Structure 1
Amino acid sequence: MQEVIKKEKVSFDFIDSIRCIAMIGIVFEHCTVLGEPKTSDFYLSMLHVSVMQFFKFATIVFFLIAGFLINHKFTEYTPGQYLKNRFKNTIKPWLFWLHVLLLCNIGSLLFRAFKFRESQILPDNFFHYLGEQYYHIIVSTSFWFILNFLICISILLLFKRYIYKLWFGLILCCVSLFYGLNLYHGWIITNHTTALFGFVFYLWIGAYANRYHKELFAFINKVPMWCFIIITAFFFVLADLEALYLKSLAINDIYNTLRVSNILYSLSFFLILLKIGSIGFINKYFKPRSSTFGIYLIHHIVILHIITELFRPLKIDINHVTLSQATGYTILRFVITYSITMLIVMLIRRTKLKWSIGAA
């Protein structure tokens, strides 16, 4: 029993560091304002997509570490117990901040209507407006991925008896690759809600990696870091090139997470993070285990209702700035967003509302 507890502690140490880095990547991605390259210059376009591409590993890495942790929970709880605990600790905070965002949206609408006398923006049917707001927040914002995550976990639990079967992983891999191929063929609409089953594969990889973690880390320890860096850099460039190729085909979603090149890049980057291991100052000062979920839930609200208002007086037209200016603007938005969100999370952690960020 002592040996098992020790393993879990070690696992949490390095996973906390990865969790923090992945969340930084997700917040950065949501702060970006660059969009697609608008120049015909190949090198400028490569630089443009490189800024967008660098943190594209974050979402897949998050599912990988979630799967790694799930492996222990599957042995400690029955599927029913696990789902009950997961929904209790996840859905309650999710619902709370969903309604905070809803109230902020309504408050912003009323403020504009009465402060600037824009009464025409008020909805004729408030309940219809309310329904539209619920749909938009749940489906079109970062709140969707919480539901997506829970659905993916439920699928993995449903097929728990096959979780360590390679053929099962192969099926999940094919499902994920389907979404990458769909970008080129348009079999289904390419948005994040249709990629409902595309991320189960990465939960499976995480759980499988945990099962054979000794062999995995023996391999990682044998391979020098420069090998991982070169391989990851290759996939990074490949992902850049695929994004530009998708643009040349007039495909809208050129930064789609489930592009084949980005999948390879994300898996390779994950190996680098495993090679690095636990990062002491991240675990000490950022406290990822108790802050990450709160950052995810709150950062979207901060972007929409604080960052937007902070930068509104500057009247920045993102369509008429240089790449370096847009990149600098993105970095500034990210730094302010992450700092404000972290401050809010730190304050909430000291109150009775800490349950709302999963820190209770």
Structure 2
Amino acid sequence: MSNSEQDLLAIPAKKNFEFIDSIRCLAMIGIVMEHSIYNGTYIFSGYPPKHILYICLIQLSKFGTIAFFVLAGFLLGDKFTTYSSWEYFKRRLSNTFKPWLVWSLVMLVAILAQRYVAIHKSGDEYHFILELESKIKLVYLYTNYWFIINFMFCIAILLCFKKYLYSFWLGSVLLICSLVYSINVYYEWFLPSHTIAIFGFIFYLWLGAICNHYWDRLENFVSKTNIFIYLTVFLITFVWAVFDITRLMDAKSVDPYNTLRLSNIFYSVATLALLLKVKNFNFTKYLKPRKTTFGIYLIHYILVVSLLPEIFRPFHLVPFKEMSVAFMLFFISFRFLLVYGLSLLIIWLLNKTKLRWIVAL
């Protein structure tokens, strides 16, 4: 396999896991959709139908992060049998760190420039060091770039316990660590942000490895179970997750959309199970997920944060709560298609240059 194919979520050629491509493509669509939809947390008064629709649209896409950890763990379990712990970690770090560093720095420069322009227009004094410190913390702890730091940390932890990778005792300990963050979402003993939950996602990486280890049994079970059971569980967990968000909003939660909410964990697993049941989504092959998934993840958030506001600024659009339902749906759809389409275009253009390595192709 060439270096250009050794991306973050590469598929082992010797195994027929092509369906993972389809599912991770949908997971990435979910992540881009969530970031394209989100326009603030407490932007509505009460729960009019428009607010419920807004919550539902965000929740619909909230399975992506946990799904990615499970899928990565699934493929990780296969790779652990091929390489030594240090060799695997070194290869993974080499193939992901440089692209991640490039795009995270682009993000950092972009938001620093935005902040400079805003302060210059207001006539206030610009303190570069203070702004730099603040924006470094923002980019690497509170944007999508946290994922790679967290992901590599999770891999390192599992590599340390490689001998016990398929031990359910290890899984139990990791589950307890994750549940501490989940319960904290409701009680807020410490800052309940999933982007700094460094121990909160290791369990899902382990869960993916376990799914790989017992794949024959799992696949047999999934194939024999009626799809309506998966659909029913999906709908029940979705409604629970939406209700959970409203309850956290009533409690004035810092992060009512938190990925590690108990309801969202069940929803994410239910969604992943449903996708495994369907398994193949033929349209995804046209999006070439194996070559574009990591690049889209690295690029799309810069477009959401830095490009979209500049595109729509001249139109002086009213806030979401003042939009009609039809226009809000159109606006959200347009934002998503623009971000996803431009991300694909940038990847396609970079792939034709010597800079293709920065999109991990």
**Shared fold (TM-score greater than 0.5)?**
yes
Output aligned runs, 1:1-360, within 5 Å: 8-11=14-17, 13-32=18-37, 33=39, 35-36=41-42, 38-41=44-47, 45-108=51-114, 118=121, 120-121=123-124, 123-124=126-127, 126-283=128-285, 285-318=286-319, 320-322=321-323, 324=325, 325-359=327-361
Distance 1:320 1:258 in 2: 27
Of Structure 1 and Structure 2, the greater helix share is in 1
| Contact 1:236–1:265 (8 Å) recurs in 2 | yes
Distance 2:87 2:40 in 1: 44
| Contact 2:50–2:321 (8 Å) recurs in 1 | no
| Contact 1:51–1:327 (8 Å) recurs in 2 | no
Letter in structure 2 aligned against 1:229: L
| Contact 1:16–1:278 (8 Å) recurs in 2 | no
| 1:220–1:133 CA distance, 2 compared to 1 (3 A) | same
| 1:6–1:159 CA distance, 2 compared to 1 (3 A) | closer
- More displaced stretch, 314-323 vs 135-144: 314-323
Letter in structure 2 aligned against 1:61: A
Distance 1:275 1:132 in 2: 44
Measured after TM superposition, the shift of residue 254 of structure 1 is: 1.2
Where does the alignment leave 5 or more consecutive residues of structure 1 unmatched? none
Measured after TM superposition, the shift of residue 173 of structure 1 is: 1.2
Deviation by residue 1:22-55 (Cα, 9 ceiling, x = unmatched): 1111111111226347344476554332122101
| 1:107–1:194 CA distance, 2 compared to 1 (3 A) | closer
Deviation by residue 1:127-185 (Cα, 9 ceiling, x = unmatched): 44333332221122111111111111111111111111112111111111111211222
| 1:159–1:349 CA distance, 2 compared to 1 (3 A) | same
| Contact 2:116–2:126 (8 Å) recurs in 1 | no
SS of residue paired to 2:80: helix
The answer for the alignment partner of 2:4 in structure 1 is: none
Measured after TM superposition, the shift of residue 304 of structure 1 is: 2.2
| 1:130–1:216 CA distance, 2 compared to 1 (3 A) | same
Letter in structure 1 aligned against 2:267: Y
Letter in structure 2 aligned against 1:141: T
- More displaced stretch, 311-320 vs 332-341: 311-320
| Contact 1:179–1:258 (8 Å) recurs in 2 | yes
In the superposition, the TM-score normalised over structure 2's length comes to 0.90
The alignment of Structure 1 onto Structure 2 pairs a total of residues equal to 349
| 1:7–1:340 CA distance, 2 compared to 1 (3 A) | closer
Measured after TM superposition, the shift of residue 78 of structure 1 is: 0.8
- The RMSD of aligned alpha carbons is 2.2
| 1:278–1:260 CA distance, 2 compared to 1 (3 A) | same
Measured after TM superposition, the shift of residue 119 of structure 1 is: 7.7
Distance 1:195 1:20 in 2: 24
| 1:41–1:105 CA distance, 2 compared to 1 (3 A) | closer
Q: Percent identity?
A: 39
In the superposition, the TM-score normalised over structure 1's length comes to 0.90
